[in-house]
Amino acid sequence: METEDKKYIFRGELALAAVVVMNSLGVVLMLRSGAGISAISSVPFAFSEVLPRLSLGTWNYLFQGLLVFSLMILKKRLVPQYLFSFVVGLAFGKMLDVHELWVNTLPLGPGWQVLYFVLSYLILSFGIAVSNRCGLPIIPTDLFPRELSEIISAKYSRIKISFDVICVAVTAAMTVPFLGHLEGLGIGTVLAAFTLGKMIGFMGDQMDQKIRFVSFLNHGRQPEIGR
């Protein structure tokens, strides 16, 4: 559907469902590429390696629950939308486990692994840009930098990059002492950590010119994202 101002309208509910599937695929594809897991999932991945009794998906939504709790502490109040965000995080964690079942059967080799990394980088950038604009509570790992940028009035891309770099540092601090080596981190993780925020901002800017998301929460009002 196209509006008078030439922007296409998409339902935020459908966009959020697509984001859960896309971003979980992006995380697993990046891990399959051998370039390292995405920064936002590197911490739960480290826990799944150090304490393997729980799956990557389970550790992921435990980590996301911690992020939601942290945001409510910063807000100093209970935020119902954040609780719904945790439910979305549960679905994301389950999809991680689903994607692992088939992505781990994909062929390996230098060419394939480069392709997996490029696809995962673009999928995650696009998925997070969409989730920031869908008008609904989103995956906590995406929600945290967006909300924190609003709480402290800082540029989103700067907060996103800082968040990713901290996740990478925590992962290194966990895996080296307990496993004796870096696990899950690679050149792709570092590259994504320092550049993904900028790519998300670029894709979001392009999206804002052509697309408007509507949902039962925002009633057509486009959420504002700090640049």
pTM for the model stands at: 0.77
For the segment 68-92, what is each residue's pLDDT rounded down to a tens digit? 899 999 988 888 888 888 788 888 8
The rounded distance, in Å, linking the Cα atoms of 78 and 27 is 30
Please classify residue 157 by burial: count the beta carbons closer than 10 Å to its beta carbon, then call 0-12 exposed, 13-18 middle and 19+ buried.
buried
Q: What is the predicted pLDDT for the residue at 218?
A: 61
How is the chain split into domains, by residue range?
8-214
What are the beta bridge partners of residue 211? 8
Q: Where are the beta strands (DSSP E) in the chain?
A: 8-11, 211-214
Q: What is the predicted pLDDT for the residue at 219?
A: 54
The rounded distance, in Å, linking the Cα atoms of 223 and 8 is 16
Ranges of the chain whose pLDDT falls below 50: 1-4, 220, 226-227
Q: What is the predicted pLDDT for the residue at 222?
A: 52
